[in-house]
Structure 1
């Protein structure tokens, strides 16, 4: 039962707030209506119906003293003006066998009980046939004595007025509550949109905290957190850029000195070490720049993937054209990292583009040895270096897959590793449409 309620309950704060406010209002109005009808309206209606039933019983007794049409007409002339009760004799007729039920069953029950207590003869009544009268018939020896009683004499009409105003008040309170809650939920939605944009490396625009005190406080805390994160990223970039710049100068001098020295085997090894060190510095600096650079733009992902595959001279299977919003340079960087990583450790990979209604997937498949399932999460971490794993985009640097994952996350997607149909590893970049 709890699981069912959890599934039915609204997921948004707007829906839950509306439910919290509207549900008590509806329950309260139902309780008030129930108490009113049982404690007041039903009592008043019972008193009225007993009065009408008593009048019908008296008229029946007066008729039984002189069971003629003339006497019935005389009773009609006597009762119609002041008591709003019409009497007519239908000689030779019998009571109907069927009766239509009133929507308010309590009215039928009350009239039936009152007539049963007041009249000993068989009777029949209908509260639905006429809009302003109640049809009551009593079986007598000569036929059927038919009475028409004004509806206002049988039940209190103020009950419907009360229900009308009760429903009207509920609707008005609901509308006011919905409008108020809607205004309160707007700042929360704006804060969520700003946080989502910041997480994707986009500009949050002219976001300004407003709304309730708690929401303003959350918005201000978000802006302070954003400033701290940006300051941290700037410091990281400056630090790595400075380190790279400072180390490039002695590396350049060493490379120049080695190039002028006589060629020997140990000098060749030193040159290779210097080249690897320089490549490592470039990778660190590239990683420090982050994955959120560039401006998002509309991109035909099908043509984009085909272009990369043609440049790298690998096989590509594209389901069809699909338009998404992406940063082309960063997305190209992620795909090149995955392609080069697969090519280095497993030969020529294949690129497959698939799409669904909600997202697109770019698969990089290879036929290598793959990566054990328990190690796949580890290889996505920056600077991860596992024995016999394929984590490096550049020799000695464990940043290729980490950079690709960051770029996928900046685009609102993710990078996942799985078994490839080719027998090796499948690296998949999944992006929202």
Structure 2
């Protein structure tokens, strides 16, 4: 074997493996059906083939040979004495003893053609049996009459026509076996499909509950169901969900306390500065307090993430228009692109509004023109926020999502920022089952795209 041939043989298993992976169903439901249906189908094909090969064909061949022998007797008896009286005697005996109807069609010849049976093996078996017993030309048909076989033998006087019951030449009970086999297969497969569907549905409900929880949607009606292993996984998920929710509640209470404790001394300092003489020093301290309060708000918003907020369906176009109106107050030119009159999505309104406000605010801070686009892509929703500012180099775009990340001076003209705007926005998008990506904008600056699943 040459090296090229050996390489080809090694390639074929991988080729067929990839071919089967592409063609076979990828869902658990489809694969479960395949596991049940394919073996049953193969088994029934094997049983049917064995039945027809070992029983039906054998019985049909023996019946055909017996019928051919009786026809040969009738033909030879008539050839010995072709008188009408002898023909009548032969026909009477054949009718009473063999259930054969025999008649002479004088001056006739054999037909030129005939219709073949659906089961070619039937015609072949009868033809072989008649050919082995008859010396005269013959013709037969298994399709002209549903319950009979028409056999014609050429004689000098004409055609000797013999009509035999179909069960004398063919095993007619084969279709009954196939029918019962098919009904049993359909019944068993229906029961199997019903049970498999129930088990797969339990797994699907568990996956839906996990996805809803990841997107902040409560699923109070979820209950463990299905097989023991599936119920065990569902109970583990419910325990995990309770622990996460308890942790979020504790963190929210802690952050609320921290927020109150931090704001109290800031309020006292702001009041003391307001009562003090207004000098350059007090004005500088006032600016420091404003910046500190803004930083505290940013930190708490990032840590809290609006986790306790319930999801609800909102009109995203109306939300973009409201955010666009806010951005216009900063002096930026805002363009809203939304082909559809209304696009609904289920989100946590305050958290999602904050994420979009952060993106639009960043765009307004770094550019004079802002474009807000809304559309449907692949069954989901896509929102793009673009500006005509300096943008972010491709190598630094992923770094921009890190909390407290500050990039080069071109994107750091906003001195109030603490590097949490993009981090908060991505955290909100991912908590809804989506994500945010950065790219270059047609306007010349940065393009931030939020994608939400349908």
By the TM > 0.5 criterion, same fold? yes
Q: Which residue of 2 aligns with 1:319?
A: 339
Cα gap change, 1:188 to 1:205, in 2 (>3 Å): same
* CA shift in 2, pair 1:141/1:418, >3 Å: same
State the partner residue of 2:175.
160
Q: Offset at 1:257?
A: 4.9
Deviations 1:44-69 (A, max 9, x none): 11111110011111111111112244
Equivalent pair of 2:390/2:410 in contact (CA under 8 Å): no
In structure 2, relative to structure 1, the CA distance for the partners of 1:93 and 1:403 (3 Å cut) is same
- The answer on whether the counterparts of 1:200 and 1:292 sit within 8 Å (CA) in structure 2 is no
Contact between 1:340 and 1:393, CA under 8 Å: does it hold in 2? Answer: no
What are the Cα deviations for residues 269-315 of structure 1, in whole angstroms up to 9, with x where unaligned?
44433322221111111122224443433333333322332332222
C-alpha displacement at 1:371, in angstroms? 1.5
Is 1:34–2:49 an aligned residue pair? yes
The aligned runs of 1:278-317 (5 Å cut-off) are 278-313=293-328, 314-317=334-337
**Rounded Cα–Cα distance in structure 1 between residues aligned with 2:301 and 2:275:** 30
Question: Does residue 430 in structure 1 map to residue 445 in structure 2?
Answer: no
2:363 is the counterpart of 1:360: no
Gaps of at least 5 residues in structure 2 are 1-15, 329-333
Which is worse superposed, 97-106 or 266-275?
Answer: 266-275
Residue in structure 2 matched with residue 409 of structure 1 by the alignment = 430
- Asked if 2 retains the 8 angstrom alpha-carbon contact of 1:133 and 1:149, the reply is yes
The answer to which of 283-292 and 128-137 deviates more is: 283-292
1:121 and 1:138 in contact (8 A); partners too: yes
State how far apart, in whole Å, the 2-side matches of 1:25 and 1:388 are: 69
**Distance in 2 (alpha carbons) for counterparts of 1:5 and 1:28:** 21
Query: For 1:52-88, what per-residue CA distance to the aligned partner results, in whole angstroms no more than 9, with x for missing partners?
Result: 0111111111111122444333321110122111111
Please name the residue that 1:349 is paired with.
370
Other structure's SS at 2:381 match: strand
Distance 1:389 1:225, change over 3 A: farther
Matched, 1:139 2:154: yes
In 1, Cα distance between equivalents of 2:229 and 2:349: 39
What residue number does 1:386 align with? 407
For these two proteins, the number of residue pairs brought into alignment is: 433
Q: Is the 8 A contact 2:63 2:170 kept in 1?
A: yes
Q: 1:262 offset after TM fit, Å?
A: 5.5
Hey, what does 1:78 align to over in structure 2? 93
State the Cα RMSD in Å: 2.4
Contact 2:101 2:162 in 1 (8 A): yes
Tell me, yes or no, if structure 1 residue 112 matches structure 2 residue 121. Answer: no
Q: 1:123: Cα distance to partner?
A: 1.4
- TM-score when scaled to structure 2? 0.88
Partner secondary structure for residue 349 of structure 1: strand
Indicate the residue corresponding to 2:391 in structure 1. Answer: 370
Q: Is the 8 A contact 2:335 2:371 kept in 1?
A: yes
Helix, strand or coil: the match of 1:145?
strand
Deviations 1:379-401, CA, capped at 9 Å, x for gaps: 22333333347489983422211
TM-score (norm 1): 0.92
Contact 2:389 2:444 survives alignment (8 Å): yes
Task: Tell me if structure 1 keeps the 8 A contact 2:327–2:361.
Answer: no
- Please state whether the residue corresponding to 2:398 is helix, strand or coil: helix
Report the counterpart of residue 330 of structure 1 in structure 2: 351
Partner of 2:262: 247
Q: What is the deviation of 1:154?
A: 1.0
Moved more, 180-189 or 266-275: 266-275
Q: Is the contact made by 1:95 and 1:124 (CA closer than 8 Å) also made in structure 2? A: yes
- CA gap 1:383/1:95 in 2 versus in 1, 3 angstroms: farther
Partner of 1:99: 114
3-state SS, counterpart of residue 369 of structure 2: coil
